[in-house]
Amino acid sequence: MINDQFSRLQSLRGIADIPINRRHGDVNGAERKALSRTPSGVLLITPESLEAKLVLQSSRIRGIFSGLQYVVVDELHSFIGAERGA
């Protein structure tokens, strides 16, 4: 799902000139490190990857998300009452 959203948003990037980033289990280490060094734009992230970031990089979270302005949760209803929603 994230890859589909990523492709659709990438096609709009030329209009808005906003970086689109993705973070899930299939994203390679170099891409993850680059995003961690210079976070910007839109981040498409799975709940599991967000949880891992919060747990594994807890000492850096304040800096990582310091410029965060908006959070959009897509398909939130699909997580309610499910194991991923816990």
Which residues partner with 43 through β-bridges? 21
Residues 6+ apart with CB under 8 A from 13: 19, 20
Q: Where are the domains positioned within the chain?
A: 2-85
Contact between residue 2 and residue 44 where contact means Cβ atoms under 8 Å apart: yes
Dist. CA 80–CA 54, nearest whole Å: 21
Task: Specify the pTM.
Answer: 0.70
- Digit-by-digit pLDDT tens for the chain (86 residues) are 788 888 888 887 778 788 888 888 788 888 888 887 887 888 888 888 888 888 988 898 888 888 888 888 777 777 777 776 65
Quote the pLDDT of residue 4.
Answer: 85
